[in-house]
Structure 1
Amino acid sequence: MRTVFVQIGEIMTRTPVLVAGAGLSGLSTAVFLGMHGTPALVVERHESTSTHPKARGQQTHTMEALRLVGLEDAFVAASPKSRGFALRIAASASGPVFHEILHDTFVPMGHLSPAASADASQEAAERLLLGRARELGADVRFSTELVSFEQDSDGVTAVLRDLRTGEESTVEAEYLVGADGHRSPVRTALGIGTHGSGSIAHNVLWGIRADLGHVVGEEQVLYYLQNPELSGGTGVLVSTDDADRFVVGVGFDPDTQHLDDFTPERAVEQIRIATGVPDLEVEILDRAPVETGMYVADRFSSGRAHLVGDAAHTMPPQGGMGGNTAILDGFYLAWKLAAVLRGEAGPGLLDSHDAERRPVGEWIATNQYRNAMVRTGARYDGPPPVEDPATLFFGYRHNGAVVSEPGDEHELLEDPNAPTGRPGSRAPHVVLDSPDGPLSTIELFGREFVVLTGSEEWERAAKSVAADLGVRLTAHRIGDGLTGPWAEPYGVSDDGAVLVRPDRFIAWRSPGPGPATDLERALRSVLAR
């Protein structure tokens, strides 16, 4: 790994990882790199983190990752103290309601995960991630633009510009992460195209202050509006972290309309129609045009550069998976970058970023597109969206850096309610008894490779292989302070062994006893060594 230093005379910075973009995906990448002991340099052209609520809500699979870096409680605390969350399709916030999609905070997931859920806005989430990233060693620079970069077999050389002073500097990095949004200059510079359903809709959004307590009550609300009196016949109204602050949007056709057509008077008119309150007193805080679309990058990696978040997959907001996927992109990529930079893995491990995350990202983006079609009343006769939370959060597999078994056809999905323990699937949540009380197997994973076994022989083998290969590997033997019916959900016998990756996906398993060389070969294969 290159040593991090700043040489004042030449304005030269060296860093293991340069991250372009300080949104959810970029800051998450920096946080999880820091957790693995790898500092990152993060540059963001905007002056600060988001000042708009944007994506809201962190599901249990995301909170499992945030728990590892000590942010679970902070995200729960940042969630609005409301009585719940309502998602409705309606003519206005005052009704009539055509369809109530969800009227609860979150679907209980206790049978699949020990983690809670949270309802923090992107506005709050980015602030929390920024603080933790800096605590874990990241250098985060706002008002700083990535001007250009070049890469070769030795690394990435980038030019940065301080937008406040105009001063330029050079950065040498081992790797570059493009977390720079749906228009992604990094993706463009790499020559990576996109595919997908394309642009779906254009809207104009207003941030407003208004007293709508008598309309929405104490709930957090999200209304998808279908009303011919609204521009484009559609709209949206969503709560924020403040009880009197909302975001209201209506349809906007850039081919026939101009933003200036939405005068303050017309804005108030449209907002009153959206809320269903004809005499509503409104303070307009800001206005912005927004394009909704579904695009997936043709590749998530090119040489030493890797894409995460909206740079990799842009999706409609309907379904709430965009922000969650952005955070987890960073979680799934960070351990691989750190392992390569520590010399524990070969560069080939990073090839699995595209192989694993692109199919998952495309599936999630496609599902959000289907949600958008259904919830906005668009003409659509395609497959319905997947709405089962268990499948959405825990049902996808990573078919890349794993040791596949005979007969495995590399399916993307499986039912997490009936776990198979196959390599590529998420390690099942099993509650064990420990000296300190109940403990989920999920709590044993997340920072390093783990061998889960009931056998002393496999436990000894794991320690020996870890020492021989110089890999961070821990063995947890069930029966040595931990007890419980773990073997069946993992598809092995009590004398078998399961190798779990740092991202809690199963890399390899042995149904029963076996030689240490089996574990060593599995690790070498996964780490591309």
Structure 2
Amino acid sequence: MYNVHMMYGVHAPRVLIIGGGLVGLCAALFLRQHEVEVTLVERRATTSPQPKARRINLRTMELFRQLGIADQVFDAARDLANHQAMAAGPTLAEAERLPVMFPGGMPDWDAITPAGACLCAQDLLEPVLREIAEARGADIRFGVELMDFREHHGRGDTAHTNDLPSAPRDGGPGIRAIVRTAGGAMDTLDADYLIAADGANSPIRERLGITRGGRGTLGSAVNVYFRADLGELVRGREFNLCQIENDRVPGAFASVDGTRRWIFTSGVGVDRPARDWPEALRVAIGVPDIDIEVLSVLPWEPGMFVADTFRSGRVFLAGDAAHVMPPFAAAGANTGIEDAHNLAWKLARVLRGSADPALLDTYHSERHPVGWFIADQSSIRTLSLRTMTRESTDGTPLADPIALILGNRYPAGAFIDDASAHTMTRLDTSGQPGTRMPHAFANPGRSTLDLIGNEYVLLTGPAGGAWRAAAARAGIDSYEIDENYCVTAGLTASGALLIRPDQIVAWRAPELPADPAAALRTTLELIDRARARHRLPS
């Protein structure tokens, strides 16, 4: 039986996050952007000491831009600002840069996104996110471990789990959690909802009995994190990843800071003792007398495991707790951050009473199929940097790599489906409901994505004065877009796009209806009541 100290009060969180990695910290930031009270609990004493994830993709940087923190992230990523290329060769000393390999050629980045991707090691990025989250009012508690939790259903709920007190803070339904502080004391935390961002081996997912599907384990590998002065060796050939193509020590080097910190990944020598890795690394580097300090050796198993449901009552799975995928598409952490972004605005609207709680069901209906697709695409990419954007391991068609980042479409959820066509063979963001809104620069440095804040926004064509009047009556912001954007988004000059707070198209009206105010009002009601998968009546 737990001896707990009751922690009630006006500052009790509306949302409790378990896990202080990239996904958990971003969830806290997104929720605070919506002014939701949030507490994050992480059993580790500090942020990650391991570099782990490094690629922060275009979509994640768009989300950081929406938060207003892109500059801080780029600053943390400055050491690898010039390390975007890929390289390959028999040793690091002999490797040469590979040509850029996008299936359709080099994209016009300004036409695609206002953001830029970056490389930022997780051990550098997490402290930045933590500091910003705390400055914005998130209650971040490292060195605190979740011991138990239960969902309670309001007044009269007398069930117990391990003798947890069952009375909620206000008599309503919610989550009660028991946590152990760094000093060993047990405390109680009450919240309305819980986000499980507690990793691939999620105890919360296991506790809830949520099963997983997918391709399973895809082999074995080892990451060797080491320190060596390779800055001069790679000067002029700076890289993100460098593939080593020899029979003795095949694998790939990843830059952590571009000079002294590196990771070597291999599917060979997984059981090699740490003491033998310096000599093996010298072979892969091609310099026999270089000083090497091995910092850690971590065997791991790439694999695809996707939870069968991302929601159980008031608990939501996010990040690796929801979907584990190989790192071959550099998509794991980025997909988890998008999970949190999708969920945050929905929780905010439900908590303030603007939407029916059924809106939260669309978290699973939207993120599960996308998480599955990205995990599967990550699983079928070849390990060769020379072919990974062109060939799959089993013949499954590959999505365009830019489309995989920016062009996913939700099959059902909090939007009005219009049955329009969509493809993943190229980036296709042309105003289809369920996709990220089209980007265009409205004026220098300002994107259409920058128009989206915490509420719905209506984008109207030049002949959309009646739309703007309807938006004002509905209490939402509206902006006029030019005819070029209308063409991109599949609108006439009198049409409109309704955009959700997560920059996803919620509804497309190609032209002005007879009663735009009624159409907009009906649309907002359908979405907030989670009935948006049905089409509007004509």
Shift of residue 428, structure 1, vs aligned partner: 0.9
- Looking at structure 2, the residues matched to 107 and 278 of structure 1 have their Cα atoms a distance apart, in angstroms, of 41
Matched residue SS, 1:402: coil
Q: Say whether residues 1:196 and 2:214 are aligned partners.
A: yes
Change (3 A) 1:197 1:224: farther
Shift of residue 220, structure 1, vs aligned partner: 3.4
Matched residue SS, 1:485: helix
Given candidates 172, 176, 187, the residue that maps to 1:157 is 176
- Looking at structure 2, the residues matched to 366 and 507 of structure 1 have their Cα atoms a distance apart, in angstroms, of 26
- Looking at structure 1, the residues matched to 50 and 101 of structure 2 have their Cα atoms a distance apart, in angstroms, of 24
Query: TM-score, structure 1 length as denominator?
Result: 0.86
Query: TM-score, structure 2 length as denominator?
Result: 0.85
Given candidates 255, 262, 271, the residue that maps to 1:246 is 262
Change (3 A) 1:385 1:509: closer
- Looking at structure 2, the residues matched to 415 and 269 of structure 1 have their Cα atoms a distance apart, in angstroms, of 44
Shift of residue 439, structure 1, vs aligned partner: 3.7
- Looking at structure 2, the residues matched to 504 and 342 of structure 1 have their Cα atoms a distance apart, in angstroms, of 20
Q: Say whether residues 1:172 and 2:207 are aligned partners.
A: no
Given candidates 333, 348, 365, the residue that maps to 1:323 is 333
Q: Say whether residues 1:76 and 2:74 are aligned partners.
A: yes
Change (3 A) 1:511 1:102: closer
Q: Is the 8 A contact 2:400 2:425 kept in 1?
A: no
Q: Say whether residues 1:217 and 2:235 are aligned partners.
A: yes
State the one-letter code of the partner of 2:252: V
Matched residue SS, 2:111: coil
Structure-2 residue corresponding to 1:443: 450
How far does the alpha carbon of each residue in 1:185-206 deviate from its partner, in whole angstroms, 9 at most, with x for none? 1111111111112222333333
Shift of residue 458, structure 1, vs aligned partner: 1.3
Q: Any stretches of 5+ residues in structure 2 without a counterpart?
A: 154-172, 531-538
Q: Any stretches of 5+ residues in structure 1 without a counterpart?
A: 1-7, 467-472
Structure-2 residue corresponding to 1:386: 398
Q: Say whether residues 1:464 and 2:497 are aligned partners.
A: no
How far does the alpha carbon of each residue in 1:159-214 deviate from its partner, in whole angstroms, 9 at most, with x for none? 1112x322111111111101011111111111111111222233333322212234
Structure-1 residue corresponding to 2:138: 138
Structure-1 residue corresponding to 2:302: 292
Q: Is the 8 A contact 1:60 1:109 kept in 2?
A: no
- Looking at structure 2, the residues matched to 301 and 250 of structure 1 have their Cα atoms a distance apart, in angstroms, of 35
Q: What does 1:396-475 correspond to in 2, within 5 Å?
A: 396-398=408-410, 399-405=412-418, 407-408=419-420, 413=424, 415-417=426-428, 419-433=429-443, 439-454=446-461, 455-466=464-475, 473-475=476-478
Structure-2 residue corresponding to 1:470: none
Q: Is the 8 A contact 2:318 2:339 kept in 1?
A: yes
Shift of residue 509, structure 1, vs aligned partner: 2.1
Q: How many residues align?
A: 494
How far does the alpha carbon of each residue in 1:17-37 deviate from its partner, in whole angstroms, 9 at most, with x for none? 011101111111100100011
- Looking at structure 2, the residues matched to 342 and 59 of structure 1 have their Cα atoms a distance apart, in angstroms, of 32
- Looking at structure 1, the residues matched to 274 and 57 of structure 2 have their Cα atoms a distance apart, in angstroms, of 38
Structure-1 residue corresponding to 2:60: 62
Matched residue SS, 2:175: strand
Structure-1 residue corresponding to 2:166: none
- Looking at structure 2, the residues matched to 525 and 108 of structure 1 have their Cα atoms a distance apart, in angstroms, of 37
Given candidates 407, 419, 423, the residue that maps to 1:395 is 407
Change (3 A) 1:431 1:251: closer
Q: Is the 8 A contact 2:80 2:120 kept in 1?
A: no
Change (3 A) 1:209 1:317: same
How far does the alpha carbon of each residue in 1:346-374 deviate from its partner, in whole angstroms, 9 at most, with x for none? 11111111111111111111111122455
Shift of residue 432, structure 1, vs aligned partner: 2.9
State the one-letter code of the partner of 2:149: F
- Looking at structure 2, the residues matched to 169 and 124 of structure 1 have their Cα atoms a distance apart, in angstroms, of 31
Change (3 A) 1:102 1:275: farther
- Looking at structure 2, the residues matched to 499 and 187 of structure 1 have their Cα atoms a distance apart, in angstroms, of 35
State the one-letter code of the partner of 1:48: T
Structure-2 residue corresponding to 1:3: none
Structure-1 residue corresponding to 2:487: 488
Change (3 A) 1:484 1:377: closer
Shift of residue 101, structure 1, vs aligned partner: 6.6
Given candidates 316, 330, 348, the residue that maps to 1:306 is 316
Q: Is the 8 A contact 2:81 2:119 kept in 1?
A: no
- Looking at structure 2, the residues matched to 314 and 101 of structure 1 have their Cα atoms a distance apart, in angstroms, of 30
How far does the alpha carbon of each residue in 1:406-460 deviate from its partner, in whole angstroms, 9 at most, with x for none? x458x6847435x432211221113335xxx564222212421001113221111
Q: What does 1:317-396 correspond to in 2, within 5 Å?
A: 317-374=327-384, 381-383=393-395, 386=398, 388-396=400-408
State the one-letter code of the partner of 2:264: V
Structure-2 residue corresponding to 1:183: 201
